[in-house]
Each structure stands twice: as C-alpha cells, then as structure tokens.
Amino acid sequence: MLEQNKVYNLDCLEGLKLLDDNSIDSIVTDPPYKMTKRGKSCRPNWMPNNMGENVFGDLPIPDTYTWMKECFRVLKDESHFYTFTSINDIQNFLTQATLCGFKLHNIISMIKDTGMPNRWYYKQTELVLFFRKGKAKPINDFTSRDNIKVIMPKQKDGKLHITQKPLDFIEKLITNSSTENQIILDPFMGSGTTAVACINTNRNYIGFEMDENYYNICQKRLEEAKIINN
C-alpha cells in the first residue's frame, strides 16, 4: 500500500497497481475525456491562447475501462465513486463503469457561472457520474441536490489548471461520501483540488499526476493548504 497523504508523479495506470484491493474509502476524480465528437480533448477555439493549445499535450486519453477497473478493485465495498465526464463521453463512461461492476446512483449537474456557446443549446453544465460498489450506501447530507450552482475558478483569481474545479464543490462530494480520516483517491490529481479538499475536511488522500508541471504546482498548493490548516 502506498503512503497516504501524498500525490505521486506517476501515470495512474501504473500507480493504481500499487494500491491494495479494497483499500480506498471513496474516489473523486476528473479524468481526461472527449471534448469533441471527433474524440479530441483540446482547447476550444473560443478559449484564450494562453490557456494552452491542448489540455493534455500529445498524450492519448487513457483507456476508460482499464483505469475504472483498477478503481473498482481498490475501492471498498459499499463505497462511492465520482467521476466528471462530458456529453461526448458519457455513454462510454456509463458502459465501461457497468462492465467494471459499478452501479449508477445518480448524475449530478454542476451548473457553472460560465458557459460555452454551442449550436445545440448554450453549455453551462458539467456532469458528474455518481457510482457505487456493492450495496447502496446513503450520502451523509440528505438535503444535497443533484444540481449545484458553482463559481468556477478564474485566471484572475489564481486558476492553476485549465480544467480546475471549484474547491467547495469537491469538498461537498468528499464529505457526502466519507467520514473523517478515511482515504480518498484521485487518479488524475491535476493541480491538487481533491487533495486540498481532503486537507480542509480532515480526510486522507492518495493521488497520481503524471504531468511534471502540474505535479509541482500541486505540491506547492498542498504545502500552502497544510500551513493554513495547522
């Protein structure tokens, strides 16, 4: 079993193999997924150039079944798995998760204060698939809704990653599906939002980030979060 409260500079397909079976209490992650019907995960033409031409560089999107199957293996029974997805990849994610053994609990809509112009309705929502492993376990806050309005991180406010998610939203998912001192896994850690949310809510975490630049950004962010919470 890997050491807790660390993010590892590893491809998650390698890192997940180092985790024991049934060792993780909950999974919250925002993996690479298709952003266009052509299967590319790149910068839409309306984004400013300084956001980067390609979110994930020249690397291919990891095989969904492969990483989800490892997530199923390491997750404890009667536990929850959250993953962001897009309308262009939702069918694939649902199919692969079912093949891995997950059961769908719900689809949560994160309603943003930003949006994307589109010929088929203005896009202002990101989707979170909420799965379970084994028997159903209720969330901790029964008043939680399946649609949540959020304020997205902005560059002017210190946004660190092109797909960075609101910290309070991630904290909500974590606190609803775990208790203090339990272990939360994020195979695609990015700038470290899931880990910071764990620090803020007294959870333990394990994460992987293969991009060295974002790994270093994540490490700095975690050190700052630990100082604030001490």
Q: What is the pLDDT of residues 2-53, one digit of tens each?
A: 999 999 999 999 999 999 999 999 999 999 876 555 444 444 433 443 434 3
Which tokens sit at 123? 């896009």
Residue 105 to residue 130: CA distance in whole angstroms: 5
pLDDT per residue over 84-130, tens digit each?
A: 998 888 999 999 999 999 999 999 999 999 988 888 899 999 999 99
Write the CATH number of the domain with boundaries 6-229: 3.40.50.150
Residue 230 to residue 213: CA distance in whole angstroms: 26
The whole-number pLDDT of residue 33 equals 75
Three-class DSSP category at 90: helix
Higher pLDDT, 89 or 186: 186
Beta strands 103-116 and 123-133, pairing class = antiparallel
Which amino acid appears at position 228 of this protein?
Answer: I
Which tokens sit at 27? 């999974």
> Are the C-beta atoms of 28 and 56 separated by less than 8 Å?
no
Phi, psi torsion values for 8, nearest 5 degrees: -105, 135
pLDDT of 79 over the 90 cut: yes
pLDDT of 230 over the 90 cut: no
Higher pLDDT, 153 or 1: 153
| pLDDT band of 219, cuts 50, 70, 90 | very high
The whole-number pLDDT of residue 36 equals 54
Three-class DSSP category at 223: helix
Percent of the chain scoring above 90 in pLDDT = 75
Statement: the pTM of the whole predicted model exceeds 0.85: yes
The whole-number pLDDT of residue 21 equals 98
Task: State mean pLDDT over 71-94.
Answer: 96
Three-class DSSP category at 7: strand
Residue-averaged pLDDT of the chain = 89
Q: Closest Cα partner for 205 from 227, 174, 228? A: 174
